């Protein structure tokens, strides 16, 4: 990030953003104290169009799902013996993952890429001797695998580890995987073919992420619904609309030139993936979806899920603040469509998570004070409130339909039917969003690690939904 310091989250907010936020809080608080009814109506007037844009994007994603081929992944490209495969670097930042060493090494060995042309770097922290010992045992005698140790320093984050290892990587193409990942065996080949057949401005390919443990708990089922809708529908729709694509945290395949030109990963941003996707778009690189799946573990408990989601939302807040430091420059870099798309997607996710529970708080407050009508019966306020109610109903409907269709195609109707419970899951996301605000203020660079469970042989699979 040295060549792009203005796009680093090292300073979470610039002066004008702090002043604007303070002013908004003071004005809204004073307005609520003066006339809560009028203030609530004005706020809804301002927010309804933004949330409607998110629902319209989901509607377009429904169209994408309905018109996508049923097969989740194309047939593997032939591994022709005369193909001059380049060196492909695979970066795996790990911390306290000794129990995952065997499964991740086995998953990497299944990748169809010549052993002499693979550059697999396991990145460990200085104090994590257990993970290093486990890896040394697993990779002994295997070609193209090595361990790199990141020296002590701050902030201790995944992007800092990646930035330390990047200069040591030798590949013309680079991909990032996580400890629990199980990518489809042909994924590197498919990515390389896409890079060679597309124009030189294709900087990154994002593989589709999905979940191998959806039946573990209620939370894993809802997480699977969310992830499937995102990677099988929403992100492809964003790509089709030529909007900036916020990357997922793993299975990002980069052209080395694009990665270095865009500044790499920001060590201070705890969702370095989403931030890098926006920065690639600002630098003129295309980001596209790769029709290959990497299977991941959903957080099996509410506590693990809450920590992970708090970090994600804190990072999205960081990313929004960083790229909106200079709105005119962002508009110039992305164009009008990209600028609107960035704000709808990033702002929509954050604002909807924060505002969603407040709608119900207001409704219950009205009921508690004896006002059973909830909405003004006539006048301009009635139009505003009923528009907001219609927008909320539309948002629920399109999100549930999208998740149902995407998951039905991937995992079958039994899991897809759980989409009707998504509004409850959104309340959990809202709790994580408010926790993220506290984290952003108190410890902006703290990395809440997601704990992973060791995979059993039954889960250590490379399968598509057809094989479940």
| pLDDT tens, position by position, 327-379 | 999 999 999 999 999 999 899 889 999 988 988 887 787 777 776 666 555 66
Q: Residue 24 above 50 pLDDT?
A: yes
The total number of residues written for the chain in this structure: 468
State the SS3 of 132-180: HHHHHHHHCCCCCEEEEEECCCCCCCHHHHHHHHHHHCCCCEEEECCCC
- 């529908």: which residue's tokens? 233
Edge-first strand order for the sheet with 286-296 is: 145-150, 118-125, 88-93, 173-176, 252-255, 202-211, 286-296, 182-183
- pLDDT value at position 465? 40
User: Tell me, what CATH number does 79's domain have?
Assistant: 3.90.550.10
Under the banding of pLDDT at 50, 70 and 90, the label for residue 285 is very high
**Rounded mean pLDDT of 28-51?**
84
Number of independent structural domains in the chain:
1
- pLDDT value at position 75? 52
**Rounded mean pLDDT of 64-72?**
74
User: For a pLDDT cut of 90, what percent of the chain falls above it?
Assistant: 72
Phi and psi dihedrals of 383, rounded to 5? -60, -45
Handedness of CA 465, 468, 118, 449 (dihedral sign): positive
- pLDDT value at position 443? 92
Cα–Cα dist 462/468, whole Å: 10
Q: Residue 412 above 50 pLDDT?
A: yes
Cα–Cα dist 437/441, whole Å: 6
Cβ–Cβ under 8 Å, residues 350 and 426: no
**Rounded mean pLDDT of 160-183?**
97
Q: Which contiguous run of DSSP H or E holds residue 347? A: none
- pLDDT value at position 36? 77
Q: Residue 85 above 60 pLDDT?
A: yes
Of residues 52 and 12, more confidently modeled: 52
Owning domain of residue 442: 1-468
Output the six-digit token pair for 285. 């690189």
User: For a pLDDT cut of 70, what percent of the chain falls above it?
Assistant: 91
**Rounded mean pLDDT of 182-200?**
95
Cβ–Cβ under 8 Å, residues 195 and 278: no
Cα–Cα dist 230/149, whole Å: 34
pTM of the entire structure? 0.91
Exposure string of 404-428, with b = 16+ CB inside 10 Å and e = fewer, is bbbbbbbbeeebbebbeebeebbeb
């Amino acid at each position: 990030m040295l060549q792009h310091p203005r796009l680093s989250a090292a300073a979470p907010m610039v002066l004008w953003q702090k002043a604007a936020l303070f002013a908004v809080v003071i004005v809204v608080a004073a307005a609520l104290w003066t006339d809560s009814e009028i203030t609530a109506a004005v706020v809804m007037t301002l927010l309804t169009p933004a949330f409607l844009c998110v629902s319209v994007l989901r509607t377009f994603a429904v169209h994408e799902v309905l018109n996508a081929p049923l097969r989740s992944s194309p047939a593997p490209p032939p591994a022709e013996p005369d193909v001059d495969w380049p060196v492909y670097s695979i970066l795996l930042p790990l911390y306290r993952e000794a129990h995952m060493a065997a499964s991740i090494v086995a998953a990497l060995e299944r990748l169809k890429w010549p052993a002499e042309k693979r550059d697999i770097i396991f990145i460990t922290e200085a104090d994590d001797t257990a993970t290093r010992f486990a890896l040394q045992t697993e990779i002994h005698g295997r070609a193209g695998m090595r361990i790199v140790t990141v020296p002590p320093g701050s902030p201790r984050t995944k992007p800092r580890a990646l930035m330390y290892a990047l200069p040591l990587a030798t590949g013309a193409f680079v991909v990032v995987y996580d400890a629990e990942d199980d990518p489809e065996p042909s994924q590197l080949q498919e990515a390389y073919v896409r890079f060679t057949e597309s124009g030189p401005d294709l900087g990154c390919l994002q593989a589709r992420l999905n979940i191998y443990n959806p039946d573990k708990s209620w939370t894993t089922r809802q997480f699977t619904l969310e992830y499937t809708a995102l990677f099988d529908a929403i992100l492809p729709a964003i790509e089709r609309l030529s909007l900036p694509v916020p990357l997922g945290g793993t299975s990002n395949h980069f052209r080395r030139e694009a990665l270095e030109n865009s500044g790499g990963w920001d060590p201070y941003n705890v969702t370095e993936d989403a931030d890098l996707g926006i920065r690639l778009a600002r630098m003129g690189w295309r980001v596209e979806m790769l029709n290959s799946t990497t299977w991941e573990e959903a957080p099996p408990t509410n506590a693990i899920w809450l920590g992970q989601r708090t970090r994600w939302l804190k990072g999205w807040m960081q990313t929004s603040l960083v790229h909106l430091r200079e709105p005119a420059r962002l508009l110039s870099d992305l164009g009008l469509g990209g600028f609107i798309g960035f704000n709808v997607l990033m702002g929509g996710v954050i604002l909807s998570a924060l505002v969603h529970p407040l709608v119900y708080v207001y409704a219950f407050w009205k009921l508690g004070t004896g006002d059973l009508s909830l909405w003004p019966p006539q006048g301009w306020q009635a139009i505003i409130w009923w528009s907001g109610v219609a927008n909320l109903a539309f948002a629920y409907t399109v999100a549930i339909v999208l998740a149902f269709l995407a998951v039905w195609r991937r995992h079958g109707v039994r899991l897809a039917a759980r989409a009707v419970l998504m509004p409850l899951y959104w309340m959990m996301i809202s709790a994580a969003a408010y926790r993220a605000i506290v984290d952003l203020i108190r410890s902006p660079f703290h990395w809440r690690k997601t704990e992973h469970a060791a995979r059993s042989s039954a889960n250590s699979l490379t399968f598509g939904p057809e094989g479940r």
